[in-house]
């Protein structure tokens, strides 16, 4: 079964074709990073306008790369007509991110998917973006095992859960304020590093001493599986405020390393504790921050050696992409195909919660 996935929840326009939820036939991502660097972060209106420009070229490229032949003639008449000329005959269903994310960005992908599903009479599957990140770990040869302890750690989300089976989650905790990715981005800004901050902090941290600044770790005894990163962000703010521009430039690597160490230590410790408490068969990292090499290293160190640690080695599968949405859509569809047969409008929801399916 070939599923066309569409993802536009934030600042990546992405379309992919995935076979049977596991095999990527194409995964085209048009990133807006260069655009948002100018403002140091995503401006929703700017992101949405860029999705409008990119969605059809990205769709066409994803279909072409998946060898779902392009139409012979593309009408020069305009975008809407071109949607009706895409060769979707070989596609079995369309999966799209319905939320969470920026509403104005979500709407572009959701409307493209609804239009295509209506024209071509294909099942239409709304997917939760975070569920997409989790299913990114199925886009590999080895089959994941249930139950798994999963840490979703991205720009806007930070959750710890036990994944019991397809669409079955037990929630252990989430962030009470900022997600780890958001903290990476904000601290990078304080250090004068460009957007997105995560990879930049990782790079700067290589030359730094992680023990130089003892930054706070929020262990949160009330629910030790919850997270909080606003305290460490404020600690870095006060630390950098006291420094002259020259001193800050000199301390940049040490601050980056100390910050990265503190955040990763908290994330990896809580994940390892959850894995031990719930006796899982494997542990998974999902979302943009799972690209962080120190987080992967620490998680491996803290986990009992017999528990496998899974993450996407391919960095493009850690951050936003449509292949993960197609994968999640496949497993949703397989569980209840009848639910998706009849065309129904999708309501894009910026705060969509992860629920059982």
Ligand X SMILES: Nc1ncnc2c1ncn2[C@@H]1O[C@H](COP(=O)(O)OP(=O)(O)OP(=O)(O)O)[C@@H](O)[C@H]1O
Residues at the interface with Mg ion (CB under 5 A): 154, 320
Does the footprint of ligand X cover residue 287 (CB under 6 A)?
Answer: yes
Helical ranges in 192-244 per DSSP H: 197-205, 230-241
Residue closer to Mg ion by CB (options 162, 291) is 291
Find residue 281's DSSP bridge partners: none
Does the footprint of ligand X cover residue 196 (CB under 6 A)?
Answer: yes
Residue closer to ligand X by CB (options 58, 291) is 291
Does the footprint of ligand X cover residue 202 (CB under 6 A)?
Answer: yes
Sketch the per residue contact string, 68 through 97, with ligand X: x for CB under 6 A, - otherwise. ------------------------------
Does the footprint of ligand X cover residue 104 (CB under 6 A)?
Answer: no
Residue 101 contact partner, candidates ligand X, Mg ion, none, CB within 5 to 8 A by sort of partner:
ligand X
The set of residues, in sequence order, having a beta carbon less than 8 Å from that of 272 and lying 6+ positions away, is 283, 299, 302, 303
Please pick, from the candidates 184, 229, 330, 340, the single residue that binds ligand X as defined by CB under 6 A. 184
Does the footprint of ligand X cover residue 128 (CB under 6 A)?
Answer: no
Provide the pairing of β-strand 148-153 with 2-7.
Answer: unpaired
Please pick, from the candidates 21, 99, 109, 155, the single residue that binds ligand X as defined by CB under 6 A. 155
Q: Phi first, then psi: give them for residue 196, nearest 5 degrees.
A: -80, 145
Sketch the per residue contact string, 267 through 286, with ligand X: x for CB under 6 A, - otherwise. --------------------
Structure tokens at 86: 């895409």
User: Would you give the end-to-end CA distance of the chain in angstroms?
Assistant: 19
DSSP letter (8 states) at residue 240: H
Structure tokens at 266: 């908290």
Does the footprint of ligand X cover residue 5 (CB under 6 A)?
Answer: no
Does the footprint of ligand X cover residue 10 (CB under 6 A)?
Answer: yes
Work out the number of other CB atoms within 10 angstroms of the CB of residue 9: 32
């Amino acid at each position: 079964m070939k599923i066309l996935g569409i993802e536009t929840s934030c600042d990546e326009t992405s379309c992919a074709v995935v076979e049977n939820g596991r095999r990527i036939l194409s995964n085209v991502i048009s990133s807006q990073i260069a655009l948002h660097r100018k403002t140091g972060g995503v401006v929703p209106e700017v992101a949405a306008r860029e999705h409008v420009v990119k969605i059809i070229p990205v769709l066409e490229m994803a279909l072409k790369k998946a060898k779902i032949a392009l139409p012979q003639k593309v009408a020069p008449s305009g975008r809407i007509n071109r949607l009706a000329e895409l060769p979707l005959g070989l596609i079995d269903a369309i999966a799209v991110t319905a939320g969470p994310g920026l509403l104005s960005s979500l709407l572009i992908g959701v409307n493209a998917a609804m239009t295509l599903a209506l024209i071509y009479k294909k099942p239409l599957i709304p997917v939760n973006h975070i569920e997409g990140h989790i299913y990114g770990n199925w886009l590999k040869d080895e089959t994941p095992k249930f139950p798994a302890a999963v840490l979703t750690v991205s720009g806007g989300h930070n959750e710890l859960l036990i994944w019991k089976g397809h669409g079955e989650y037990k929630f252990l905790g989430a962030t009470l304020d900022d997600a780890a990715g958001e903290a990476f981005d904000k601290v990078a800004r304080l250090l004068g590093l460009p957007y997105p901050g995560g990879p930049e902090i990782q790079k700067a941290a290589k030359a730094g001493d992680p023990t130089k600044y003892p930054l706070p770790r929020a262990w949160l005894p009330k629910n030790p599986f919850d997270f909080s990163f606003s305290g460490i962000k404020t600690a870095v703010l006060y630390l950098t405020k006291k420094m002259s521009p020259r001193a800050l430039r000199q301390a940049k690597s040490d601050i980056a390393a100390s910050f990265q160490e503190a955040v990763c230590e908290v994330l990896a410790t809580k994940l390892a504790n959850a894995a031990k408490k719930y006796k899982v068969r494997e542990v998974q990292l999902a979302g943009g921050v799972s690209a962080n090499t120190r987080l992967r290293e620490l998680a491996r160190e803290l986990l009992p050696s017999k528990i496998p640690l899974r993450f996407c080695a391919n960095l493009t599968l850690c951050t936003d992409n449509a292949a993960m949405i197609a994968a999640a859509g496949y497993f949703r569809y397989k569980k209840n195909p009848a639910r998706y047969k009849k065309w129904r409008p999708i309501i894009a929801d910026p705060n969509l919660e992860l629920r059982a399916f």
